Amino acid sequence: MSRAELVSRLRPGPTGAHPSEPTLRMLRVLLGFESSLYAAVTPVLPHYAHTLHASKPAIGLLAGAYAAGIIPGSLIGGWAAARAGVRRTTVGGLIAFAVAGAAFGFATDLVALDLLRVAQGLACGFIWGGGLAWAIAVAPRERRGAVIGSVIGAAIFGTLIGPLLGVFAVGVGTAPVFTSVGVAAVVLALWVRRHPDPGSAELDVPGEPAPLRVRGRGLLAQSGLWLGAWLVLFEAMSTGAVSTLVPLRLSRLGASGLAIGATFVLASAVATLLAPVIGRASDRHGARRPMTVGLISGAALFAAMTLPGAWLPLAAVSVLVLGGPMSAFMIPAVPMMTASAERVGVTVVVATSLVNLAYAVGETIGAPTAALLSTASSDAVPFLSVAVLMLFSLVLVRRSRRTAAPAVATSTPRSSPGRAAGSPLLAPRR
């Protein structure tokens, strides 16, 4: 296939249809699958706490081990995607994911479980490093929010399936369930290989690149990058806190394993439906509006999580917390970061590696920190702390400038469909 034919397949036609819909469909399934194994451990946490006699901080470490693996995985995965291409990187991540996922089902020691979750996180860094860059590469600039929203929505849908896997694993055994997940990862790797790898024309920014030192200084000067990275990190930190504390609190209040799983399934279903809507809203109205709505509603709901004394009201509030507010400020942050990076000549692969790194750091911090704060005081302290940080983030969003920092100049710019350089990061697109 010639380069012109490849570009024509990846770019949207005159009808405005989604670019390379078969590839995007594959990527949605891929990232949804990865998220399902991440979320599968949530209903199993009380099971491990009981059978392994693990303390709350130990369970918090297990919950955060996956994200801890994503930190080096996102860096190595980004490097691999830049050198070997996004398809090879994604396939390699799936194979590693299959091995670590199957082995997790047979582990009976807490240390082994921690190490295998770290290995899964490393593989996740490759999967997202390749997959997210792949999705952004085939998305026109003016529809990035919608495409990212659909991809993240698929990942959230994976978290809907994940708790069902966890509940099933508690009932029939972890070995057969997680072995089946490993087999599914190998099948997905074969499917990924059937799709064309986007070329450098899709992954690189327009124009000749500026010197690396100049691009690095320009990237650090981009306020949109820092704000977006903080919001991605903060969303992951908040999700890690909820995923650790809520299952244990629901269990203490008398909820069954099925009720705990149903809580997270329902929350994922709501978030899955809202994610594409949020993405389209950020394309149409700019990032500021959905971010503001998400942070205000999220702060109120996190504060409300301190009130219920029975498991059913707590489950209801948890569904609302996870169902939309955090996606509303995180989804627009991703195109904000990639736009900031492209403005200074940094490639999509590097930008998505920074997104993955911010998320991994946030979740690594969130789960164990929330568990330690809860152990030292009560669950109310981490919940109220998140609410306060949401109000702080709201101030940052409202005070952020509507125009981006000046881009680093590049020589001989070439046209690229849908990549309107210099557009405001927070202003509405018209």
Nearest to 138 by CA among 15, 286, 17: 17
Spatial contact of 100 and 123, defined as CB atoms under 8 Å apart: yes
Tokens of 233: 């990190």
End-to-end CA distance of the chain: 36
Q: What is the pLDDT along the chain (430 residues), one digit of tens a residue?
A: 444 443 344 343 333 444 467 888 899 999 889 888 887 887 888 878 888 887 877 887 887 788 788 889 988 988 888 888 889 999 999 999 999 999 998 888 888 999 999 999 999 989 988 888 888 887 777 777 888 888 888 888 887 777 778 888 888 888 888 899 899 999 999 999 988 877 654 555 454 444 444 455 656 667 778 899 999 999 989 988 888 889 888 988 989 888 887 888 788 888 888 888 898 888 888 888 899 999 999 999 999 998 888 999 999 999 998 888 888 898 999 888 887 777 766 677 777 888 888 888 887 788 788 888 988 888 899 999 999 999 999 999 988 754 333 334 333 333 333 333 333 344 433 3
Cα(72)–Cα(68) distance, rounded to whole angstroms?
8
Residue 130, H or E segment: helix 110-137
Residues with Cβ < 8 Å from 57, sequence gap 6 or more?
A: 368, 371, 372, 375
DSSP codes of every residue in 189-251: HHHHTTSPPP-HHHHSPSSBPPPHHHHHHHHHT-HHHHHHHHHHHHHHHHHHHHHHHHHHHHH
CA separation, residue 238 to residues 146, 242, 257, 291 (Å): 23, 6, 22, 15
- Which residue type sits at 238? S
Global pTM reads 0.74
Nearest to 73 by CA among 32, 21, 127, 143: 127
